[in-house]
Amino acid sequence: SQQGEEDPQALSIQEGENATMNCSYKTSINNLQWYRQNSGRGLVHLILIRSNEREKHSGRLRVTLDTSKKSSSLLITASRAADTASYFCATAIRPLAGNMLTFGGGTRLMVKP
C-alpha cells in the first residue's frame, strides 16, 4: 500500500520557474528517496535523504526532510522542458541493503517551453 501522498498531483509551470513538490508519509523511516519517471519508462533515482538529515542538494535539486511533520519536499530550480516527467517519493524503513520502498502517488510535472 502507498505510504503517503504527494502534493500536488499535477503541476504545470513555465521554463525557468521553480517547481516544488511535497511528499507526506505515515510511519517512521530510515531514508526517503526521490525518483523521476519519464512517460512509459522506468524510474531514475534522483536523491536520497536519511532520517537524520534535513536538507540535501544535487545540481538543480534541493530536498528537505522534516521528520517531525513526516514530510519532504523536492525543489527543482530553473526548470527546463526536459524536466517534464512524473516525480515520486519513496520511503524505506530500513537501510539500503535489500530494503523495500513504499512509493507515494507521484506528481506529474509539465514544464512548458
Residue 51 in contact with another protein, rule: CB under 8 A: no
Residue 67 DSSP label:
T
43 touches another protein (CB under 8 A)? yes
Q: Which three cell numbers stand for residue 76?
A: 527543482
Q: How far is the CB of 98 from another protein (least distance, A)?
A: 4
Q: List binders of another protein among 78-97 (CB under 8 A).
A: 88, 96-97
Counting residues that bind another protein (by CB under 8 A) gives 23
Binding mask 53-82 for another protein (x = CB under 8 A): ------------------------------
CA distance linking residue 18 with residue 30, whole number of Å: 28
Please write down the HEC assignment for all residues of 67-94.
Answer: CCCCEEEEEECCCCHHHCEEEEEEEECC
Pairing of strands 10-14, 107-112: parallel
> Does 40 help bind another protein (rule: CB under 8 A)?
yes
Closer to another protein by CB, 13 or 101: give it.
Answer: 101
Whole-angstrom distance, CA of residue 56 vs CA of residue 41: 26
Cell of 1: 500500500
Select from 45, 57, 80, 112 the one that contacts another protein (CB under 8 A): 45
State the residues that interact with another protein by CB under 8 A. Answer: 2, 33, 35, 40-45, 48, 88, 96-106, 108
